[in-house]
Amino acid sequence: MHFSPQALMLLRDRYLLPGEEPHQLFARVAGALRSDALRRDFTYVMEELLFLPNSPTLMNAGTKSGQLSACFVLPIRDSIGNIFQTLGHMALIHQSGGGTGFSFSHIRPRGDVVDGASGVASGPLSFIRVFDAATAAVRQGGKRRGANMGVLASSHPDIMEFINCKRNAGLDNFNLSVGYDAEFFRCLSSGKPYALINPRDGQVQDEIAAASLWNAVADAAWTCGDPGILFLDEINRKNTLPGYDSFEATNPCGEQPLFSYESCNLGSVNLTGCVRKGDIDMDLLRYIVRTGISFLDSVIDVNRFPLPEIREHTLDTRKIGLGIMGLADMFIALDIPYESAEALLLAERIMTFIQEESRAMSAELGEWKGSFPAIDRSIFTGDMRNATVTTIAPTGSLHLIAGTSSGIEPLFSLAYEREIGEQTIAFMHPAVEAAIGPDRASLPTDLLGEVRRTGSLQHINLPEHTKDLLKTAPEIEPAHHVRMQAAIQRHTDNAVSKTINLPETATVDDIKEIFGLARELMCKGITVYRYNSKDSQALRQGCDVCKINR
């Protein structure tokens, strides 16, 4: 078990209990799952950084809190009582380390009538701001800022206000997404007007050109990164529980569509750790996947749910989400450029394998322990322990602990800065050393300075294959980003968290093309971020002080 200085800093800042060492953390987590037969396997995959569960499990397993899930969706109905009851529930979930998603689509529009009062409705945006302010007062698990997803249906009369609400900053604790229905795309392709419907009475309040709404989302995303898009019709078409409920919202990063009051616990396989002697060790990958599925299923049985409604719905469906991290570093280890047809084929082959092994393991657990109670309302005809088994999370903190690239993203930058707690860390990717030679003393100062300044090798005199191998996210064609997301999504039960990172020079038309391609390739959602489109961003390309790490 080897940790980088950055990983140790993160572990001490957020995950380790007072006096705890990293190996004790993993023993604590494995022991809390009460699975003596698998404790050694659970401990091994974590200690070897081959698999890690989501942050609340690492933080809270074996503690008084005991809340181990990362993802929640809560309902919001069109009444003051329900809205503020949900606000209190959100605070409890954030306090325990979870993130929350909401659909505000049922709230009547701004200016609408209010029953039993002389005033008028203030609309969903006013309540989103209330939730945002409350989130700012409650840190997740006492360790990190709360996170939310706010969704508004594309047919809501306040949709244009929603689309543009983050242009001038604010709502720092919310990601926003427009939830599109199939009717919108019929209107977009035919040129017919698109109806905006008052959720209070189901009546058409106005009509809008679908193209103007589509253009407005692209323009706002170009300006500030929000909103993203959820293809709710596609999400519900792939619903494994069509007889149970339908989806209206996701967790904060969009990878986990959930029904109201559902929760889900996630974990990720470190693909870089599966590379052995220049190839992928499929037997090792199978072992990690099957161990990971058993691990995540065991979490459900020991979890302390923050609300009785969440306990009821989660035990009904027993959803879990096993994903991957280290995809980009795996490609580098195999000498395959991320932006290549070979990478797309390999990514899809690996995710097909993971999905098949995950389903097979869940079926075995279902035969042994019993299927999830709501299976009679699902697509499954045989035993199955979990209604869903795979999800691609962003692994924002986990990848740093594991010492690998995040989720399915390409390298963001070869040199970057990131804030951890009160400190800013600087890092240069180890592949830079291999690319420009191992003898550090002989490296020209201006060459290393260029990498530090730009985070890139593209303007350095190196073989083209080397530069292709180490292309960073903004240097990769946007269409390839989308195709990678689609290749993974085809073999993922839930959804895929991926950001289409764009250079500062990207245009609104570029973003519209990305949105259209994502729809064509049947992604469940899409998020773009144009570099420097916000005053503050988590990662910055280049750094002043970073050194090559051995």
Give catalytic residues, as residue numbers.
Answer: 251, 253, 255
Alpha-carbon distance of 366 to 297, in angstroms, equals: 10
Contact 86, 80 (CB under 8 A): no
- In order, the DSSP letters of 65-99 are S-----EEEE---SSHHHHHHHHHHHHHHHHTT-E
Contact 93, 72 (CB under 8 A): yes
First to last CA, the chain: 16
Nearest to 25 by CA among 17, 37, 13: 17
The residue written with tokens 């005991």 in the block is 66
Question: Token pair for residue 57?
Answer: 């499990």
Pairing relation of β-strands 99-103 and 263-270?
A: unpaired
Q: Which helix (H) or strand (E) holds 174?
A: strand 174-180
Phi, psi of 339 (to 5 degrees): -90, 75
> Is the link from the previous residue into 227 a cis peptide, with omega within 30 of 0?
yes
- Grouping H, G, I as helix, E, B as strand and the rest as coil, residue 154 is coil
HEC assignment per residue over 220-278: HHHHHCCCEEEEHHHHHHCCCCCCCCCCCEECCCCCCEECCCCEEEEEEEEHHHHEECC
- CB under 8 Å to 29, separation ≥6 — which residues? 42, 46, 53, 57, 58, 61, 62
Phi, psi of 145 (to 5 degrees): -70, 140
